[in-house]
Amino acid sequence: MKATKIALGLLVTLGVAGAAGWFNLDKETRGLLATLPTNRDLLFWSQAQRDAAFRALDRLPVLAKARVVPAGGTTLPLPAGAPLKLPLDVDAYMTGQRSAALLIVHDGKLRLERYGLDFDGGGRWTSFSVAKSITSTLVGAAIRDGHIRSMDDKVSDYIAQMKGSAYDDVSIRQLLTMTSGVRWNEDYADPKSDVAQFNNHKPEEGVDALVSYLRRLPREVPAGTRWQYSTGETNLVGVLLGQATKKPLSTYLSEKIWAPAGMEQQATWILSRTGHEISGCCIQAATRDFARFGLFILGGARVGGQAIVPAGWLGEATTERTGIGRPGRGYGYQWWTYTDGSFAARGIFGQGLFIDPKRKIVIASNANWAHGATDPVASEAREAFYRAVMKAIDDEAAEAPGAVPKN
């Protein structure tokens, strides 16, 4: 009876359009949504609330509004390859990750595809900060298209309302490498942190909410001298992109990547309270399409043989531009980098996209980690899984007929 009352209350809240969205949900999701959160502070939702909402954010306007990213008419095939023999129990790994989806594509072939949490290939799961790497690629496209003159242009050259703030001294390059030197707290467990509070900030009249929040922040160190992770600044990149291209980010993403790269399903992009796509977060897409984005990057971000980004730009984006204080790891233009040449996009609660150009591997994963946004045990297990896949591919190559033995 209690669950029924909650569901009925939800339908009243959503109104006619929201009610239609409710009945379009699958049965399992409707059952989960009996515990739908009543607030927008997803960092502090329960595990059951996250299980429900992560697959349905774009269909629940009481939580968020979204804009569609249309796919094109031609889908890039993902032909099945031979099942990859891994030196671990994949089911146990997925249980530990609380995986909703796990895909491995090697040399263009789908070598593993598994789903969990009552999710499947027809659904869309939210990306969280995997969207940062997609936003970065759109910056490269905007430079190639002439909308942005240079990576070294200042933020306030494109966002006039940032003039007079600490961002007068910050370049687009420094935004993308998260080296602005402006104060920011990204502690997901702290309800008073910037990352927890900026979405609820009440802006000045006529000023974008994000711009209003960020332009008040003080400088802590000179620009370019310190790496500090900041979702707010990736969101600022999105505002800058919108100003430069004169288009919504969802439209630009569809034109430059989603349609020409052969995505199977439309995606959606969650909007801020002032109607801009939240560029540091929250693209909802099928896991196969996240994998296709990985293949697009692996192939040099090319459409019809022509790169959508300037020559050399993608190589810079996916290799270390700044250290992060961990041996063997660094940060590029919104990509996490490794010294072996591989790189990754990462989102809180276990979303991930790993790309290894040397071995032609793409691993796409969606999850809802049991112990919160940044579960260190689950994170290290995912890193170990990446290494296990790389080893399996190496072992397979070594055993292939005609393989040259290693000394």
What digits encode the pLDDT tens for the residues 190-200?
888 888 887 67
C-alpha dist (Å) from residue 106 to 88, 102, 113: 18, 13, 12
For residue 260 the two structure tokens come to 């020409």
Q: Tell me the CA distances in angstroms from 207 to 160, 196, 201, 212, 230, one per residue in order.
A: 11, 20, 12, 6, 21
pLDDT value for 200: 72
Overall pTM surpassing 0.85 (yes/no): yes
Distance of alpha carbon 330 from alpha carbon 320, whole angstroms: 5
**pLDDT tier at 184 (50, 70, 90 boundaries)?**
very high
What is the C-alpha to C-alpha distance for residues 371 and 365, in angstroms, rounded to an integer? 17
Give the confidence band of 62 by pLDDT, cuts at 50, 70, 90: low
For residue 322, is pLDDT > 80?
Answer: yes
Beta partners for 99?
Answer: 367
Angle between helices 376-399 and 90-97 (to 10 degrees): 160
Q: What is the C-alpha separation between 194 and 227, in angstroms, rounded?
A: 17
DSSP 182: B
Q: Is the pLDDT of residue 13 over 80?
A: no
Phi/psi for 118 (5° steps) reads 60, 25
Please, what is the Cα angle at 123 between 122 and 128, to 5 degrees? 140
The predicted-structure confidence for 140-159, as pLDDT tens digits, reads as follows 999 999 999 999 999 999 99
Which residues does 361 contact at the CB level (< 8 Å), separation at least 6?
Answer: 104, 105, 106, 342, 354, 355, 389, 390, 393
